[in-house]
Structure 1
Amino acid sequence: MNRLLTCTVLIVAAIATLVSCFNNSGNEETLPKNVSYNFHIRPILSDKCFKCHGPDASHREAGLRLDIADSAYAPLLNTKGAFAIVPGKPELSELIKRISSTDSTMVMPTPESHLGSLSEHEIALFKKWIKQGAKYEAHWAFTMPVKIPLPEVKDKEWVKNEIDRFILAKLEEKGLTPNEEADKERLLKRVSFDLTGLPPSLEMMDRFVADKSDVAYEKMVDALLQLPQYGEKIAVHWMDVARYADSYGYQDDNIRTQWPWRDWVIHAFNQNMPYDQFVTWQVAGDMLPDATKENILATGFFRNHKYTEEGGVIEEEYRIEYLIDKTKTFTKGILGITIECAQCHDHKYDPFSQKDYYSLLAFFNNTKEKGFEGDVGTSQPAKNPVLTITAEDRKHLLSYINAKDTNALTVSVMGERDTLRKTYLLNRGVYDQPADEVQPTAVKAVMKFDTVKFPRNRIGLAKWTVDKKNPLTARVFVNQVWQEFFGKGLVKTSGDFGMQGELPSHPELLDWLAVDFMENGWNVKRLVKQIVTSATYRQSGKVKDIHLKKDPENIYLARSPRQRLKAEFVRDMYLASSGLLIKTIGGASVKPYQPKGIWEAASSGRGVLATYRQDHNDALYRRGLYNFIKLTVPPPSMIMFDASNRDQCEVKRLKTNTPLQALIMMNDPAVLEASRVLAQQLLSERSTADEKISKAFRLIICRQPSATEKKILNEYYTEQLQLFQQNKLNAAVTIKVGEYPINKELNQQEVAALMKTINTVYNMEEAIVK
């Protein structure tokens, strides 16, 4: 009986302890020492409260704004004698009473809002914040970045540069230790793809592995940064931002020639043009004093959006659509904010009014472009205003533009009217419902637009954008560059630095990099080198149990993230490793292999793009970024690997994993052709089958195969060869793929067997992962 009583007491005590732990989940021990409005309170307000008590006046309840201190501290209109927040006194704050209430008629958020109630921990955060004075802070992204002193760390031996001090400090705080450095072969593959989008050559692999000096890696990074393929690699992201395509997107979806602008982007990155200049030229190059054709060409950035060629449309409606697109591209791609939400009403979460939106749009409202000018046809596939680039221009000023003939090229660019067009706020965003007139002004919540310093035109907008006091421009670009190497930015929502965006995982590092970037002349290559030479970047991708337990999403970077190559670089990988790749830089977009009938099924039957006319010879083997992009039917094999469809500005691609991706690597004619061509090349060499398979493995996977891998591949090759020799498989049918000539002097059964073996290597996950 005593034993039973003792057990009962212990069980009751255990239950009481569990209940106590649950009820005190928000106690002082689990709360931060200092509760920050920006990092603890504002995210809760944004999710639970701003819908009814935020910046949008048209949907505000009870006249209460909780996003600004003056309103939150003021007497409540509907509750006499009460205040939403009384600094220092949570017990007198109506907000605490409401969020803690169990009465459905009193509790906030209301059940009808479907926003959910606050957790005990969130309520405790509010209580402690108010007790500490309820201090409001300007949104972190709208305050100037500060370059704080580098944090102290325990493991100073691990640190390679300043980036590592910030990363390691956070790891040590979280009880994590970084991974060891990746082995040389995997590290070279990673940095080669990250800097050029191409696998390293065998000569590069051998040289790097043999170089035992302390500067071997840095020398390799410097060499890769000097290759012209670097500009092609980094241009892919900017083409997503700029929604670059080779057609107009609406109705007949006819052809256009914006590719000289793409060639300029590649050139600008290879020349390491400072980012502030890069942005200035694209925003207002045509308005610079004594603007050259290169300055004007850069403004093609704003002319990459869709255009209608449908008769009977309302011209003004589409002209406004084009302005809306420019505004969104500028704010999302360069400023990292979602101001397009204010097109129809004040922003619900960020301090952007509808007037702010149209004041910004006003900078683009004076362009010469029309809403509709008919089908321009093929003689001049560009919309006015256009820049004409002659053969003489390409010979001297614009030598980086790769044109096959001497014909003049036309590119859609920006151009200002001689007379000022008035801009109006549009009721509910409708083109034919003008309200109050507005003047060109940048977003004041980000940084004041000083009209003494900045003229009210695109030159002024460009100067405001790259002013070192602008808190967003450098932060946003540094974050996008970081995202290119680690798969996600220090701010995960790279297109939204506003109230609803994610908080930075390493805010001090982001700010330090942004300030350092500006202090060093907005030098993009320098920033890239800082990142790839850090110990953080060089880590092994090995996942340890403690990583999964403490940081499953790898937020704190105790290991290198495993990432699939972007769609363009999947193509580049198999072309380069097989020897098929044509490394010509720039030029008109090309049409490689594609399933029959796709364009025709989605076409109106009119225009030069009604039918897909595949290219031949060298054009079949150009890099992925040169694939022709028809907006209504983007390249299918690339879309399957999550390429941007270029329909609008995109700063971060989706990442999916579907069976269709595996089917492409198994069956795409381009992959099969690459397998055949590499097999032919290897069979032309004097080496054993084992040596041929090992070399193919190195070319594709970029490392030596293990003994087990060699055994499996050699056995598979032998098996397939026997099946072909026994006529159980047809070698002639197998190798008849692609337009690259078949080497008839080789044993076709050996070609087919080795081709299938190589295709197996291409289908390893590691082939398309860095």
Structure 2
Amino acid sequence: MIKLFSTIRTVFFMMFSLYFAGCTSNEGEIGISEKFPDKVSYNFHIRPILSDNCFACHGPDSDAREAGLRLDIESEAFKALSENPGAFALVPGKPHQSEVFLRVNSSDESQVMPPPESNLKLTNREIELIKTWIKDGAVYEKHWAFQAPQYIAAPEVEDKNWPVNEIDHFILKQQEDIGLHPNQPASKENMLKRLSFDLTGLPPNLDLMDRFSENDNPEAYEEMVDYLLSQPSYGERMAVYWMDVSRYADSYGYQLDNFRTQWPWRDWVIHAFNENLSFEDFITWQLAGDLLENPTKEQILATGFNRNHKITEEGAVDEEEYRITYVTDRTNTVGKALIGITFECAACHDHKFDPISQKDYYEMFSFFNNIDELRTSTAPIDPLVGTPESYAKKPYIEITDEDAEGILSFVNKQDTSKLIVSVMGELDTLRNNYVLERGVFNAYGREVFPATPESILNFDPKYPKNRLGLAKWLFDERNPLTARVFVNKIWKEFFGRGIVNTTSDFGMQGELPSHPELLDWLAIDFMENGWDIKRLIKQMVMSATYRQSVAIDEKERQKDPENRYYTRASRHHLKAEFIRNMVLASSGLLVPEIGGRSVKPYQPDGLWEAATAGGSTLAEYTQDHGDNLYRRGLYTFVKRTVPPPSMLIFDASNRDQCETERSFTNTPLQALVMLNDPTVLEASRVLAARLLSENSTQTEKITKAFRLILCRKPKPKEVELLLNYLRDKLESIAMEDAEALASIGEYPVDENADKVAVAALMQVISTMYNMEEAITRS
């Protein structure tokens, strides 16, 4: 019997010893205090106060509006109060005659606003801001996110040597203005690790490490960026991000949660990123590929994006109720993923904070309300042949062997079985569209027609009133949101914090941009250069801002505790899929095959069985074997009702709905996964056996393993600790325990190998996998 407790205790001791070997302590300091602005802006100072404290009762929602007062619209805010015609909420230039200021500044509980029962209260600073704004004329501004981006040239900075590109000018200018300064550059080893995971989702191999460390050419870094962007693994890395946005899963999601085949669409996403399809085409094909003139089968396959939502297969359900749920999901996904607005808030009533009415919601809803919703499970599965028009009208397509050898050659179809994928398809006749009162599926209100919110951008009459027209509206050069929202999402992927940190909410309740001029510059540059995604990413990772070290003393960290001003690189654990990739790649187990059906690696017994109602095609978990145990995290089978547990523990999405960002938590369960996951233990065993087969010293074996896992050369103290641990294990491990350890996992075991040597080195390697640094973005 393996002495598990003893092993865990020893591993933790080793981890702490290695950690504290390089630790230093620093004194903290209070961060930068927010200064009172020279000029009070409605957008950046007043609107956030009103939105947080006033708009719920005095905002866009007419049903919730109190005293007939509306403060979110200038023309309404200056009217006489309906309950007191001699008084005005706002009197420009006269705060002491303005009821807004008098009420928020009142000490009388019967008069003060917000009322005490709301548990809201303005700070003295906020009251002073309102007073100053009214004194200066109470000038309203259109919400910043609903105004088209304005081009501003990169500003001049005092430090001429630090900036690499325009991004750095914007970042450094703001730092200099408030007395901050950027961090030192990351070491070459740390920089390569960060860059490799960020661009490919994989750790750099030893050859790449050596090439980069030995290349003193000033262009070495850019050459590495170009090399990594050209790798097929780039498309796989970017697909991880898009799977969350698109709510991709391998099951339908509701009670029975049966199997569905959408993975060919995932293969297309990988292909699209690797081919650097423009963002405009990438989105247009997914929203409306079937509506393009003479659409190809690839363009129709892309529309699987809007069929990835949960679908019921239960009997005795109201088909119309669920159909409305599907249309609602698509509408909400466009709102959250593409225009960064909490659009779903207007499904039941006018939005309480943003100028989005319920009518606006159902006008947008109308673009998706004419889809043939025939459920895939009950659809005939006859081969679809003939002209593109013959399959453009169907809610599914079949991918044939001929397709997989031709136009859909990127689909990894490994057998001759029929492959059915859910896609979009319009009905021959138009459905009528109505506002659904309170969001109830059969409570029809006024009739509406396809349109877009005027507060964002009017729908151009020349655009067709269908999904293709919606795509054209999204990429209209006047649309203020599409480019901003996407560049901000990509920024957060690489910098850890968005310029607008609420990536799916650019509305009144969203966080204000920390660098609005930079956001606009990026958006305009992105549009003017053909919506080129790889170019955008290269701009970001080439910047000096991106290349900063994460290491910073406590005194400096307290000056910018949330890293709002990008005074250092972000530090958090790798994405769940990348952690799996790291373990498999560093051990040599990773199977680099691209695409194909999702796979079922090791998982605790009984999870699916315990959560299945019965009758499901996924009632039992049947683990895969062979190469399918060692595929990238991207390809792990996602059952919505029981997502992969080890990945969920590392904050992966359960894919129930569109998610534009992941949280990064730090929990004891994560440590237990790294200590006990069969994949980690098997990888440790396989890497140990491979190192022992090499003609090298113990020090060389430990050094090589350390570099493969942590992507840097170990310090002498670290080598000494690990060597001592190895020698201790060689002397103390019992043969019974050694044989048990040396047989973990299904990868073939060399029966002639020294089991004690394998088990001892295996535990040293497991310790390396359990170091925080191993799973942390450096």
> What TM-score range do you get, normalising by the shorter chain?
over 0.9
Deviations 1:488-522 (A, max 9, x none): 21111001111000001111111100000000000
Q: Where does residue 37 of structure 2 map in the other structure?
A: 32
1:86 lines up with 2:91 in the alignment: yes
**Superposed displacement of residue 704, structure 1:** 0.3
Select which of 500, 504, 511 maps to 1:495: 504
Deviations 1:637-678 (A, max 9, x none): 000000000000000112211111000000000000000000
1:434 lines up with 2:444 in the alignment: yes
Residues in 1 aligned to 2:84 and 2:239: alpha-carbon distance in whole angstroms: 57
Q: Where does residue 12 of structure 2 map in the other structure?
A: none
CA contact (8 A) 1:163 1:534 kept: yes
1:358 lines up with 2:386 in the alignment: no
Residues in 2 aligned to 1:567 and 1:145: alpha-carbon distance in whole angstroms: 35
**Superposed displacement of residue 90, structure 1:** 1.2
Q: Where does residue 293 of structure 1 map in the other structure?
A: 297
1:229 lines up with 2:233 in the alignment: yes
Select which of 633, 655, 661 maps to 1:624: 633
Residues in 2 aligned to 1:605 and 1:574: alpha-carbon distance in whole angstroms: 35
CA contact (8 A) 2:376 2:395 kept: no
Read off the aligned partner of 1:649 and give its amino acid letter: C
**Superposed displacement of residue 375, structure 1:** 5.8
CA contact (8 A) 1:243 1:646 kept: yes
Residues in 2 aligned to 1:408 and 1:730: alpha-carbon distance in whole angstroms: 48
Deviations 1:255-285 (A, max 9, x none): 1110000000000000000001111101100
Aligned runs of 1:255-294 on 2, under 5 Å? 255-294=259-298
Residues in 1 aligned to 2:286 and 2:626: alpha-carbon distance in whole angstroms: 35
Q: Where does residue 413 of structure 2 map in the other structure?
A: 403
- More displaced 10-residue stretch of structure 1: 171-180 or 617-626: 171-180
**Superposed displacement of residue 373, structure 1:** 7.1
Q: Where does residue 7 of structure 1 map in the other structure?
A: none
Residues in 2 aligned to 1:586 and 1:482: alpha-carbon distance in whole angstroms: 26
1:682 lines up with 2:686 in the alignment: no
Aligned runs of 1:410-489 on 2, under 5 Å? 410-451=420-461, 453-489=462-498
Deviations 1:551-606 (A, max 9, x none): 11111011111121000000000000000000000000000000000000011231
1:615 lines up with 2:619 in the alignment: no
- Give SS of 1:730's match: helix
- Give SS of 1:392's match: helix
**Superposed displacement of residue 547, structure 1:** 2.5
Residues in 1 aligned to 2:521 and 2:443: alpha-carbon distance in whole angstroms: 45
Aligned runs of 1:76-115 on 2, under 5 Å? 76-114=81-119
CA contact (8 A) 2:572 2:664 kept: no
**Superposed displacement of residue 405, structure 1:** 1.1
Read off the aligned partner of 1:395 and give its amino acid letter: E
Residues in 1 aligned to 2:38 and 2:699: alpha-carbon distance in whole angstroms: 63
Residues in 1 aligned to 2:577 and 2:378: alpha-carbon distance in whole angstroms: 31
Residues in 2 aligned to 1:30 and 1:628: alpha-carbon distance in whole angstroms: 51
**Superposed displacement of residue 607, structure 1:** 2.9
Deviations 1:302-335 (A, max 9, x none): 0001111111000100000000000011110111
Q: Where does residue 508 of structure 1 map in the other structure?
A: 517
CA contact (8 A) 1:547 1:554 kept: no
**Superposed displacement of residue 376, structure 1:** 6.6
Residues in 2 aligned to 1:314 and 1:440: alpha-carbon distance in whole angstroms: 25
Select which of 533, 537, 547 maps to 1:524: 533
Q: Where does residue 736 of structure 1 map in the other structure?
A: 743
Q: Where does residue 58 of structure 2 map in the other structure?
A: 53
Residues in 2 aligned to 1:664 and 1:737: alpha-carbon distance in whole angstroms: 15
**Superposed displacement of residue 377, structure 1:** 11
Q: Where does residue 759 of structure 1 map in the other structure?
A: 766
Q: Where does residue 146 of structure 1 map in the other structure?
A: 150
- Give SS of 1:388's match: strand
1:66 lines up with 2:71 in the alignment: yes
How much identity, in percent, do the aligned residues show? 61
Read off the aligned partner of 1:393 and give its amino acid letter: D
CA contact (8 A) 1:311 1:374 kept: no
Read off the aligned partner of 1:67 and give its amino acid letter: D
1:328 lines up with 2:338 in the alignment: no
Residues in 2 aligned to 1:377 and 1:613: alpha-carbon distance in whole angstroms: 27
Select which of 33, 38, 46 maps to 1:41: 46
Residues 384 and 664 (structure 1), Cα distance of their counterparts in 2 relative to 1, 3 Å cut: farther
CA contact (8 A) 1:369 1:384 kept: no
**Superposed displacement of residue 408, structure 1:** 3.1
Residues 30 and 182 (structure 1), Cα distance of their counterparts in 2 relative to 1, 3 Å cut: closer
1:132 lines up with 2:139 in the alignment: no
Residues in 2 aligned to 1:698 and 1:264: alpha-carbon distance in whole angstroms: 34
1:605 lines up with 2:614 in the alignment: yes
1:705 lines up with 2:714 in the alignment: yes
**Superposed displacement of residue 189, structure 1:** 0.3
Read off the aligned partner of 1:410 and give its amino acid letter: I
Deviations 1:15-57 (A, max 9, x none): xxxxxxxxxxx9xx95211100010000000000001100000
- Give SS of 1:167's match: helix
- Give SS of 2:420's match: strand
- The higher-RCO structure (CA 8 Å, 6+ apart) is 2
CA contact (8 A) 2:685 2:741 kept: no
- Give SS of 2:81's match: coil
Read off the aligned partner of 1:189 and give its amino acid letter: K
- Give SS of 1:81's match: strand
**Superposed displacement of residue 546, structure 1:** 3.9
CA contact (8 A) 1:326 1:364 kept: yes
Residues in 2 aligned to 1:660 and 1:459: alpha-carbon distance in whole angstroms: 46
Read off the aligned partner of 1:762 and give its amino acid letter: Y
CA contact (8 A) 2:232 2:274 kept: yes
- Give SS of 1:561's match: coil
- Give SS of 1:82's match: strand
Residues 692 and 30 (structure 1), Cα distance of their counterparts in 2 relative to 1, 3 Å cut: closer
Aligned runs of 1:331-342 on 2, under 5 Å? 331-342=335-346
Q: Where does residue 17 of structure 1 map in the other structure?
A: none
Residues 289 and 440 (structure 1), Cα distance of their counterparts in 2 relative to 1, 3 Å cut: same
1:240 lines up with 2:244 in the alignment: yes
**Superposed displacement of residue 635, structure 1:** 0.3
Residues in 2 aligned to 1:433 and 1:305: alpha-carbon distance in whole angstroms: 23
Q: Where does residue 540 of structure 1 map in the other structure?
A: 549
- Give SS of 1:80's match: strand
Deviations 1:689-737 (A, max 9, x none): 110000000000000000111011000000011112x65x621011221
Residues in 1 aligned to 2:54 and 2:382: alpha-carbon distance in whole angstroms: 56
Select which of 741, 757, 764 maps to 1:750: 757
Q: Where does residue 209 of structure 1 map in the other structure?
A: 213
